[in-house]
């Protein structure tokens, strides 16, 4: 069965939330930050936690040595959230101080927009993510968060 990009993004977000509850190797997953009229949902996980079908449809390799960052930007119109276009840029910094630029690609369908980016994970490490999120027509906002990775 072929899934739409929106259902794939929803599957990744739902899977990430399940992992946040049930898997200790992901300490902080499925987070959100509000600024002005916008809500940004973001998560980071190891791609080996994705099913093969989801990884294939997202175009990412399944590997304990590959991380995935997923970002969505929504406009909050009095409690009703709707997706907005924009851009996401960022990097991941490991414990040794090595900074890796994350190249995000936009995934869009009729009902949603997400940005996905991958980065290498060489072994057990903690990454500090610095993302710049810019909704179309809005000001840029910086999001900083940390994520632990412990490959099997």
Range of the domain at 88: 5-149
Confidence (pLDDT) at 83: 94
**Helix, strand, coil tally for the chain in percent (to 5):** 20, 50, 30
Nearest Cα residue to 73 out of 106, 26, 100: 106
Nearest Cα residue to 113 out of 9, 3, 2: 9
Q: Give the whole-angstrom CA distance, residue 5 versus residue 21.
A: 25
pTM to 2 decimals? Answer: 0.79
Q: Which residue has the higher pLDDT, 129 or 4?
A: 129
For residue 78, is pLDDT > 90?
A: no
Query: Domain with 64 in it: what CATH number?
Result: 2.60.40.3340
Confidence (pLDDT) at 41: 95
- Give the total number of structural domains in the chain: 1
For residue 134, is pLDDT > 90?
A: yes
- Pull the structure tokens for residue 2: 């072929």
Q: If you average pLDDT over every residue of the chain, what do you get?
A: 83
- Tell me what the mean pLDDT of segment 45-59 comes to: 91
Q: Which residue has the tokens 């290498």?
A: 120
What is the distance of C-alpha 147 from the center of its chain? Answer: 12
For residue 30, is pLDDT > 90?
A: no
């Amino acid at each position: 069965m072929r899934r739409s990009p929106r259902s794939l993004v929803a599957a990744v977000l739902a899977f990430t939330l399940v992992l946040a509850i049930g898997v200790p190797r992901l300490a902080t997953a499925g987070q959100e930050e509000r600024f002005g009229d916008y809500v940004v949902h973001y998560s980071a996980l190891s791609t080996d936690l994705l099913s093969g079908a989801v990884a294939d449809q997202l175009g990412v390799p399944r590997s304990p040595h590959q991380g995935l960052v997923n970002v969505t930007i929504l406009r909050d119109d009095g409690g009703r959230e709707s997706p907005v276009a924009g851009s996401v840029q960022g990097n991941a910094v490991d414990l040794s101080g090595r900074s890796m630029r994350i190249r995000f690609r936009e995934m869009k369908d009729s009902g949603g927009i997400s940005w996905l980016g991958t980065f290498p994970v060489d072994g057990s490490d903690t990454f500090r993510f610095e993302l710049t999120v810019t909704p179309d027509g809005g000001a840029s906002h910086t999001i900083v968060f940390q994520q632990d990775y412990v490959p099997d």
